Structure 1
């Protein structure tokens, strides 16, 4: 994810006959834009990380560790990748030598690719949340989530480390002028990278989100309780609550509705009837008989069903489209640039790299803000941040 830049204008200094490098208008626009993108990326992902640290409820849900991992990777992109690239742009030539370049490219490629892997893991996790139902909490444990995160990170790091070692010593990159991964000059590496870093994650994101939408739509088309018989479910919960010892803090609430279909906060999507079945088994509580809670099932109003289905489809479509827009151009251009370099201008190479980095800026908006608890923490953190300004006013 490293850039070449066109030679901008050089002016002759009359006093000492030295050349002074001056950024072109296009470079200045890109220069300012990259700093703004870096600030936005750092701010958004910092909010996610701070929310996770300060809120115990977020830490209790294993799936939120995916969002934390994604925020950490994107934070590194905003803190390291973008600023160093901007300093390179300002000087027109890579000023830090081969050692810093190799470290920078290794870190940049590793965290950027890991970001796509985590997005894939989030898509798989959301599918399991819908498909496994009551067994999801037993299946997706914190240990399993951390194993997936560290496993994909290790794979990304090893893959790019091997690429650096294998192609070290090749003459594809002049480190005195530019900084790129030497492997980009080898078609074998580029094709393999496209498959592992884009095609497989894209198939996972598209496939699992499509299946997820089908499952959501199928659930909406099925039997759902209406307000007409919601009191039946409340009675069932009240009966169950009376059988639980008073000294146990078990949170049974009838207010947890299917907010998945409204806000896509999948962790809060369980209906009252979907409460963790372990409470009954572990406490040796007898299940409530149908006679104690005679609820009938009826179909919801078509307008509500269509509204929820449309919102779920819109959300999932946005996730897929943004992922493809950010990653597809870079991978296509990388292959063309290797086969026929004359077909890829420097400005085009810049553009596809910017799109790729932009993914790190929008991920907090696409993923963390769909979680009600994260949104609540964002509001509280921003309120504290801007509170001194209100005092001054």
Structure 2
């Protein structure tokens, strides 16, 4: 391992000024992260309906990763930020790095998986989407990503412990918690490519595709399997099970009385349970357009809001670190101070405390869980 006691040859790092206010905010973020994500996990455990949708397991996995971040990483980061230096030595630094790598990388991969899931939701027929995003496939994806991240982190710890990738200068582990393997530029670039840039590219492509397909779907230009179209009918006058469409048809639709010159109106087809044509029926049932908008809102708009919120917060918290540590650092290592790196890393880690707030803001059932199980207990006390 890299020596932390030998002063010979150690290049002193720039002095870090303690930031008590930032450390206090990190401490608050740690508490919010632990209890917020614990509440999210409890909501999924108590409410079976939240577990019925396979893609919701991605949110469970993301909450588990954020919980690890709040439990193991943020408290140690708060201590270092308050003091202005790292005083625990190399082994605790390895402990911090191990859990930080797992929690952060898994969170990034889960957000990427959510982006892909939302793209498939809006770009495929719903029946086809359910066939692709099944409970089995989601579980395999989650377990594979966790296994890959844990394995890669163990490899990094082995490289660190054996000095297989010696840093350009020794690190004083009683001054800064700086993994030596991440001072190796090729290794660092590999981490950023596979851990940040590729997932971020997938998120961007899926988000753009999602917005494009959602716009078309809201205009009725994309088929959505499982609904009845009023524009397509067979020769017997019975509506066929087709997708939504905006194509106008001159043929009479079900529920429409056709006035003819002395001819009796055509026989009404048997009601097969599908929604009626546009216009309100006499029995007060909702129109086809109302049902269509309701399905669109529940099936597409709510997931869109959740994805947009997660991506916006993720980019805002992570992009500064990507720019400085992944792009500026290899080109100009002296263009920023170590203190700047600490601050932007804290911002990236603090993203974990915002996610449970987003879940509660965008998921009504999670809000109901807090209202019925958490807030009620607090009011009783």
| Residue of 176, 180, 183 corresponding to 2:181 | 183
The answer to whether the aligner puts 1:342 opposite 2:342 as a matched pair is no
| Residue of 373, 379, 384 corresponding to 2:376 | 384
Tell me which residue corresponds to 1:268.
Answer: none
Q: CA deviation at 1:364?
A: 2.0
Tell me which residue corresponds to 2:86.
Answer: 94
Secondary structure of the corresponding residue to residue 342 of structure 1: coil
The answer to whether the aligner puts 1:205 opposite 2:203 as a matched pair is yes
Deviations 1:199-256 (A, max 9, x none): 11112222212222222221211189xxxxx9x9xxxxxxxxxxxxxxxxxxxxxxxx
Q: How does 1:142-157 map to 2 (within 5 A)?
A: 142-157=135-150
Q: How many residues align?
A: 304
The answer to whether the aligner puts 1:329 opposite 2:320 as a matched pair is yes
Q: How does 1:1-393 map to 2 (within 5 A)?
A: 6-8=15-17, 23=18, 27-130=19-122, 131-168=124-161, 169=163, 170=166, 171-222=169-220, 291-293=270-272, 295-296=276-277, 317-335=308-326, 336-367=328-359, 369-389=361-381
Aligned partners of 1:186 and 1:338 also within 8 Å? no
Which aligned segments of 4 or more residues in structure 1 are displaced greater than 6 angstroms?
A: 307-315
Alignment root-mean-square deviation, CA: 3.3
Aligned partners of 2:160 and 2:180 also within 8 Å? yes
In 1, the alpha carbon distance for the partners of 2:41 and 2:192 equals: 30
In 2, the alpha carbon distance for the partners of 1:105 and 1:6 equals: 21
Q: CA deviation at 1:128?
A: 2.5
User: Cα distance 1:132–1:359, how it changes in 2: closer, same or farther (>3 A)?
Assistant: farther
Secondary structure of the corresponding residue to residue 172 of structure 2: coil
Q: CA deviation at 1:42?
A: 1.7
Q: CA deviation at 1:90?
A: 4.1
Aligned partners of 1:52 and 1:59 also within 8 Å? yes
Greater fraction of residues in helix: 1
In 1, the alpha carbon distance for the partners of 2:346 and 2:80 equals: 15
In 1, the alpha carbon distance for the partners of 2:98 and 2:278 equals: 56
In 2, the alpha carbon distance for the partners of 1:6 and 1:385 equals: 47
Q: CA deviation at 1:41?
A: 1.5
Task: Choose 184-193 or 168-177, whichever is displaced more.
Answer: 168-177
Q: CA deviation at 1:121?
A: 0.8
TM superposition score normalised by structure 2:
0.70
Tell me which residue corresponds to 1:277.
Answer: none
Q: CA deviation at 1:310?
A: 9.5
TM superposition score normalised by structure 1:
0.68
Query: Structure 2: 5+ residue runs without aligned partners?
Result: 1-12, 223-227, 231-267, 280-287
In 2, the alpha carbon distance for the partners of 1:157 and 1:66 equals: 17
In 2, the alpha carbon distance for the partners of 1:84 and 1:189 equals: 25
User: Cα distance 1:321–1:290, how it changes in 2: closer, same or farther (>3 A)?
Assistant: farther
Aligned partners of 1:198 and 1:328 also within 8 Å? no
In 1, the alpha carbon distance for the partners of 2:360 and 2:121 equals: 17
In 2, the alpha carbon distance for the partners of 1:379 and 1:202 equals: 35
Query: Structure 1: 5+ residue runs without aligned partners?
Result: 9-22, 225-229, 233-288
